[in-house]
Structure formats: C-alpha cells, structure tokens
Amino acid sequence: MLAKRIIPCLDVKDGQVVKGVQFRNHEVVGEIIALAERYRDEGADELVFYDITASSDGRSVDRSWISRIAAVLDIPFCVAGGIRSLDEARQVLANGADKISINSPALENPDLIDRLAAEFGNQCVVAGIDSRREGDDWYVYQYTGDETRTKATRRRTLDWAQEVVTRGAGEIVLNCMNQDGMRQGYDVEQLRAVRERVSVPLIASGGAGALEHFAAAFREARVDGALAASVFHKQVLTVGEVKSYLRDQGIAVRL
Amino acid sequence: MIVLVDSGVANLASVVAALRRLGAEPVVSAEAEVLKKADRVILPGVGAAAAAMAQIRDKNLIEPLRGLTQPVLGICLGMQLLFEGSDESGGTDGLGILPGRVELLPASSDTPVPHMGWNQLDIVAPAHPLLRDVAHGAYVYYVHSYAAPVSPVTVASTRYGAPFTAVAAQRNFMGCQFHPERSGDVGSRILRNFLEL
C-alpha cells in the first residue's frame, strides 16, 4: 500500500535553516546537513529545501549545498527557490535533487511548468502554491519569502491548482498561509477543496502543531503527504512520533 | 570496478552517492570496453524510454549491454530498458534481455499516475540473493508511470491498483523499478547485496 508521507521542510536563508511565523520574523534554527541527517534518521519520507529568499531577491537558488545533501541523504528531496529556467532546473537535478518545486516563477511565467514537465517529466515538477483565505475564497500569493515584497495575485487558488496540473505539475504543495507557523492545525477545508479539484499528489503545508493535525489532513482532506517545519525544528514532535501515532490510527506509513 | 552506464539522461548523482556511502567508488562511462571489464554494471535511468534507447543506440551500447556476463542492475527506467519494449511514447524497443513488455500503469482516482512515493514489496522469490535480509512488506521509493507486468522473471512485486514487477531477475541481469538509492535502509541493503553478489 502506498504510504502517506511525512515531509519536514527546511527553509534555507543565507545557507542556514530558518523558520518564521506566517512567513515573517525568521530565526535561525540550525545547520542544513545536520538537520537533514536528523530528519532522515527519525524516518522522514522526503525532505523539502526552500531557498526562501531566492525568488524575492530575483536570483536563483544557491546550489552549493545541494550536492552535499545528495551525498548524505538516502531518501528523496526536493529543492525550491527561484528556479526560472530549464538550465537552472537541470543543474539542481544534476546535483542530486529528485524534484524541483516552483512557485513565484510559475506565477510570473506559467509556461515554465509546461517546459519543465516536457523536459524532465511531470514526476519531478512540483508546484508550490502559497494561498490565503479572503472572504469565502482562497487566493494565491507571490514572493512570500520576503515580507516587504509579498504580494497578492488575483488568481483563485482552486483555478491555479487546476491550471498547474493541466500544464504538467506532478504534485502540489499547498501552503496555507493563515496557518503557517501557528501550529493550530492544517486548513483541512481548503485542502479538501483542492483535493477535489486535482488528481495529482497533494501535500498539506502550514499549521501542523499536534499529532491529531496530521491525522486530520490525511483522513479528512485525503492528502498524500504532510509537510511541517516548526513543529519538527522546535522538537515539539519528532517524525517518528508522528508516524507511530498515524500507524496506530490505521493510516499507512513507512516505519 | 563498478561501472554506471552514462545513458545521458539519467540522474547519476544520487546513485553515485549511494554507492559511495557503501564504500564503493563507481566509474561513470559510456564506453563498451569499460563496461566489458567491469565487475558489476548499473544501468540507471530517469526520463523517457525512447530518449534513453536513442542515446544507448547512438553510443553503440546495445550489443555490448546484451553481451554482459557480470551482474547487471537496471534501476527504474534502466530496468524497463532490459525488457523487449515499452509502450511509452507510442512504443519503443528495449534491449530485449528480459522477456515481456513495459506497460502504462492503470490510473484511477485512487491510484493517480505517476505512482510516486513509498510502497511495499511483496517478495515472490525470497531465495534471490538481491533481496537477502529484505523483509516482506518493506517500503521502497517509487517514481514512475510505466512498469513491467508480473511474469516468471518477477522476484518481488508491488501493488498499485494491480501488482507489477518491482524486482526482476534472470541469470546475471536484475532490475529494480523503485529507486534503491532513495529507499533508505532497505535500498542500501539491496545495493549492498548487489555489490556482494
């Protein structure tokens, strides 16, 4: 049976792992390789590394750490951050990343998704979507790595989710911004709405703080994976604790 | 000497890193003479079957690969290429080393394609040395849309909607549809078993 995935997310800024609250006030939480190894040893199914300043600074991801990660990790990992061209994506993949995730550049130039999927296959193209509730709908945000440059797009999240899949994204990571870093639970309602629209794997992101939050995302929103950062970085929970709990709840996990 | 076949479209970095973690120092080559002299050959692969076969053909590696007598391990697309052909991109010939044809996985709302993530091994032939100390039900990491049906060369299968060949073996040729280099301790065990064959 295909296992539900637990995915620690490491936000990388200036070569260190940082974490903010609702995408603001970042503090340093550790060194990249040490944290990557810790999560691997705890049983993480996959890791995501976001260079959170890359897109808002208009530069591409600093790649010196990707091959170092590839050398130590025996689980898949995804790299995100300002990948704007086929050449940049090729370099990231050649350095050992299994997937690339694109977010702001896809909003600038949606055709990039088509070209990346055609060149590398949709299995390694992940669309990251930063989404916030406004009234009774959800809208996509751009350049969320830098609070001074974050901007609302006029795109509805449900429309954009459908579009990225049509263009060839093989997976969606939905960052529910209202919940980010709050540890109050995933936005199950929003995740469920996106789940009903798209058939590709959907990864919940933003809000994990307790064991029940993971179970709710899997059970009520039928997501394929749950991404979390601060709850793991601050050692509120370990990946192993989450997976043992999920197994006891009857949810298929790799232990 | 372990040689990784450079088919031009594979993600070699992660396989190289996995072998180095096991203390091996793989050589990456597309030279028939180097392949022939290797103790072991690994054929990795990511991407489309037709593109990979075109590269292998351009590099004049079809006959040299078919003629290898040392242990050979195909990984993911590299495994698919060992079969007679694949239905991918309208149909393409494979190396024809293993019998059978690679088919598109049947998609459904419960089983979207590509099949992506950690899934379990059902071991059909526990005696095969490639799977020594690998438990029935062990999880391995998959990223693929095509697979070989279960057949007499299947030594382990995985169920995704229907079962498909997870590990194939015939004589010195073996293949893993999953990525052992990304499958944690289970994957390391399988690579170590391959190095110790």
- Is pLDDT at A12 greater than 90 in this prediction? no
Kindly report, residue by residue over B79-132, the tens digit of the pLDDT. 999 999 999 878 999 999 999 999 999 888 788 888 999 999 999 977 799 999
Q: For chain A, which residues lie within 8 Å of any Cβ of chain B, measuring from their own Cβ?
A: 1-3, 5, 40, 45, 67, 70-72, 74-76, 93-96, 98, 120-124, 170-171, 199-201, 224-225, 254
**Interface contact A121-B118, CB threshold 8 A:** no
pLDDT at A64: 76
A40-48: average pLDDT: 97
Which is more confidently placed, A142 or B191?
A: B191
Mean pLDDT of A170-178: 91
CA distances for A152 relative to A82, A142, B74, B86, B184, angstroms: 18, 6, 47, 45, 40
The residue with tokens 């003479």 is B33
Residue A174's contacts (CB-CB under 8 Å, 6 or more residues apart) are A129, A131, A157, A161, A190, A191, A194, A202, A203, A204, A205, A206
Q: Give me the mean pLDDT over the A69-96 stretch.
A: 90
Q: How far apart are CA B64 and CA B7, in angstroms?
A: 13
Higher pLDDT, A49 or A26: A49
pLDDT over 70 (residue A21): no
Q: Which residues of chain B have pLDDT under 70?
A: 8-11
- Contact partners, residue B179, CB within 8 Å, separation at least 6: A76, B14, B75, B76, B140, B141, B142, B143, B187
What pLDDT is stored for residue A57 in this prediction?
57
Separation of alpha carbons A140 and A161, rounded Å: 10
pLDDT at residue A58, rounded to an integer: 57
How many CB atoms neighbour CB A136 within 10 A?
5
The whole-chain average pLDDT of chain A stands at 88
pLDDT over 80 (residue A111): yes
C-alpha distances (whole Å) from A94 to each of A148, A169, A255, B150, B162 are 33, 19, 30, 32, 33
Whether the pLDDT of residue A61 is over 90: the answer is: no
What is the sign, positive or negative, of the torsion defined by CA atoms of B126, B130, B133, B134?
A: negative
Q: Under an 8 A CB cutoff, do A74 and B114 touch?
A: no
Domain architecture of chain B: domains with CATH? 2-195 (3.40.50.880)
Q: Do B185 and A74 touch (CB under 8 A)?
A: yes
- How far apart are alpha carbons A87 and A89 in whole angstroms? 5
